[in-house]
Amino acid sequence: MSEELLRVDGIDAAYGQSKILQDVSLSIDRGEVVSLVGRNGAGKTTTLRSIVGILTPSAGTITFEGEDITALSDYETVARGIQYVPEDRQVFPDLTVDENLRMGELKSGGAGALSMSEVFDRFPRLRERRSNSGAQLSGGEQQMLVIARALLGQTDLLLLDEPTEGLAPQIVEDVIEIIETISDEGVTILLVEQNVQAAMSVADRHYVINKGQNVYEGTTEELRNADEILEQHLGVGGEMDLSI
Ligand SMILES: Nc1ncnc2c1ncn2[C@@H]1O[C@H](COP(=O)(O)OP(=O)(O)OP(=O)(O)O)[C@@H](O)[C@H]1O
Ligand SMILES: [Mg+2]
């Protein structure tokens, strides 16, 4: 039996007078990897910020583990096991990898949280580079670092905002592999991507949004064949390379 972990039900969200999301809905079962894809400015980050509680929706509800979390702050959602990795990779450039991870220990602990040594076991590359400064890491290593830092807190739901952005194809594959491993360990994942190939290579189901509204929902197989959606809302045509 599948168990619903997160339900976003008809939310509206705005920045001041600018209405951004209109009636956005999605749901994720425990253990799933679900993607939220769409073009620049579609409202992907705003949806994640609403789930986390950085932004409070003006309408609709968000339910997590059966409880209404619509009005909770980010502190409160983190304490419930929702970890958010923002798109701008907030690595502290002057701190070492070790120190960057220790910043994550502020929210550490809780059921299923990884310890520092477990984090290094999962990410051997970070152990090798633990004394290097954040500024000395490659883009892929920085992405590993921010994902690792999130996992120091109790993680029932991991929200990843464009983890593959700006990375070379080989490194995109590494990040996808990390996401697969985390998923295999039982973490439910909502993956925001503009890279639809990457999203299709790792997620089970997909939501497409455009101009702050849901426009499509389907499995990987369905999306792969939804030519119009791919062209209109995701900017990918028939020549798409789905080999990753
Ligand atoms: N702090 C803000 N104040 C006002 N408008 C904002 C703010 N942040 C985002 N917006 C606007 O909200 C809309 C949705 O932005 P959002 O960041 O959610 O898009 P996105 O799908 O994540 O795009 P991208 O792929 O470029 O990250 C855009 O039109 C953007 O200009
Ligand atoms: Mg964004």
> For 123-162, how does the pLDDT look when each residue is reduced to its tens digit (9 = 90+)?
999 999 999 999 999 999 999 999 999 999 899 999 999 9
What's residue 88's pLDDT? 87
Asked if pLDDT for residue 214 goes beyond 60, the answer is: yes
What's residue 238's pLDDT? 52
Task: Note the ligand closest to the C-alpha atom of 22.
Answer: 1
Q: pLDDT tens digits for 178-191?
A: 999 999 999 999 99
Q: E strand or H helix at 182, and its extent?
A: helix 169-184
DSSP SS3 for 112: coil
Asked if pLDDT for residue 241 goes beyond 60, the answer is: no
Q: pLDDT tens digits for 83-123?
A: 999 998 889 999 999 999 988 766 666 777 888 899 999 99
Q: Phi first, then psi: give them for residue 171, nearest 5 degrees.
A: -75, -35
Asked if pLDDT for residue 240 goes beyond 60, the answer is: no
One-letter amino acid of 86: P
Asked if pLDDT for residue 1 goes beyond 70, the answer is: no
Q: E strand or H helix at 128, and its extent?
A: helix 124-128
What's residue 235's pLDDT? 81
Which residue, by CA, sits nearest to atom 18 of ligand 1?
43
Give residue 236's pLDDT band: very low, low, confident or very high (50, 70, 90). confident
What's residue 111's pLDDT? 73
- Find the mean pLDDT for residues 165-169: 92
What's residue 113's pLDDT? 84
For 37-103, the three-class secondary structure string (H helix, E strand, C coil) is ECCCCCCHHHHHHHHHCCCCCCEEEEEECCEECCCCCHHHHHHCCEEEECCCCCCCCCCEHHHHHHH
Query: Which of 20, 159, 234 is the best mutation target for the ligand 1 pocket, counting ligand atoms within 8 Å of the beta carbon and taking the most?
Result: 20
- Find the mean pLDDT for residues 215-236: 90
Query: Which of 12, 15, 36, 159 is the best mutation target for the ligand 1 pocket, counting ligand atoms within 8 Å of the beta carbon and taking the most?
Result: 15
Q: How far apart are CA 40 and CA 37, in angstroms?
A: 10
Q: How far apart are CA 81 and CA 232, in angstroms?
A: 35
What's residue 112's pLDDT? 75
Query: Which of 17, 18, 21 is the best mutation target for the ligand 1 pocket, counting ligand atoms within 8 Å of the beta carbon and taking the most?
Result: 18
DSSP SS3 for 3: coil
What's residue 106's pLDDT? 65
- Of 206, 157, 161, which is closest to residue 186 (Cα–Cα)? 157
- Of 74, 20, 73, which is closest to residue 47 (Cα–Cα)? 20
What are the tokens at 76? 């409160």
Which residue, by CA, sits nearest to atom 26 of ligand 1?
40
Torsion over CA of 29, 77, 25 and 222, rounded to 10 degrees? -40
Ligand 1, CB cutoff 6 Å, lining residues: 15, 18, 20, 38, 40-46, 87, 194
47, 9 contact by CB (below 8 A): no
Q: pLDDT tens digits for 24-77?
A: 999 999 999 999 999 999 999 999 999 999 999 999 999 999 999 999 999 999
Q: How far apart are CA 240 and CA 238, in angstroms?
A: 5
What's residue 28's pLDDT? 98
DSSP SS3 for 6: strand
